[in-house]
Chains A and B, each alone.
Chain A
């Protein structure tokens, strides 16, 4: 496998994309529970209210944030002739994503720990 920063971004894009699709299926399963009545919906919500899933929400935040910012990076590549700055752009996308995930992830973590 030819290793490069470009390949890293390619992998991250796909992994976060697949993660978001899986989340969407889970989301539809929970919301779809309402068709079977309030009890089903509430039991599904309760199941996802466990600390494990709350912590996993940080992963969801990371996937959403990185995938979105990577999309902006790609738009810049497509329309602004910035291939010369390809590595800096990737590092910037990673840095901005990391800051946003930490800023958003800490409250999620504290909320999950409180129980």
Chain B
């Protein structure tokens, strides 16, 4: 494994709404040593070259979702991305804030609309009336059907890569539709028909144009498009789906078969 340092030009889109009329580019030189992430490079630039470079980050472990940015045209979490992997042939790396969202300063964007759409789908669980004494019992197949949607960290990479979001501000967006999918598919949730009814509107599941940017942008390798496709099919038979759910919820506290090791 090579440990030699590589000199990289980091191009950062700068914008301070108090003084700038439009965004401009700033260039900084950093050494791309082995193991250095793009976030490390941004920290280095802020600490050693220009303290006014503004960006957002928190956990540095790809779980808080605050450091999603656009690097060389692709949305990603910069805390988990090695700097060397994204250096182009000219020895440069280009960092922009998440596209299609209002810029607060430099690489920090205003996610108000993102969160408003998230709340619109009522992302919380609406439990049935007969809550089991100990725990809900879900089968393995029911968990598999969620397709890991609960792994979403709400980073906004999918939302800001979606051209439909750019063209239609009222579109719910892939992040919230994935969350809605999680709740609709959850056997513990007792209001799938009402949820599907809301998603069936003009700015809901049928607004998606299957551009697939959300899949490519997701740092957790989730598939919002497939979730949206599933919601479309369920929306057409929502009442039957809710009836089946009610029946299923009669056995939510029943054992689901032999538990391994017991």
Task: Identify the A interface with B (CB < 8 A).
Answer: 1-7, 9-10, 74, 77-78, 81, 83, 86
Contact = CB atoms under 8 A, between A and B. Distances in A.
A2 B99 contact: yes
Given A77-B229, A78-B232, A10 B215 contact: no
A33 B176 CA distance: 52
25 contacts: A1-B163, A2-B73, A2-B99, A2-B100, A2-B162, A2-B163, A2-B213, A3-B73, A4-B161, A4-B211, A4-B212, A4-B216, A6-B210, A6-B211, A10-B209, A77-B225, A78-B232, A81-B226, A81-B229, A83-B212, A83-B215, A83-B225, A83-B226, A83-B229, A86-B212
Contact of B161 (A2, A74, A83): A2
> Interface residues of A: mostly helix, strand, loop or mixed?
helix
Interface of B: 70, 73, 75, 99-100, 160-163, 166, 209-213, 215-216, 223, 225-226, 229, 232
Nearest to A5: B212
A2 to B, nearest CB: 5
Nearest to A87: B212
Given A1-B163, A2-B100, A78-B232, 4 more contacts: A2-B75, A4-B161, A78-B229, A81-B226
Contacts of B226: 81, 83
Contacts of B100: 2
Contacts of B225: 77, 83
A7 B211 CA distance: 6
A10 B229 CA distance: 17
Given A74-B210, A77-B210, A78-B229, A6 B73 contact: no
A7 B70 CA distance: 16
Given A2-B161, A78-B229, A81-B226, A9 B73 contact: no
A10 B100 CA distance: 17
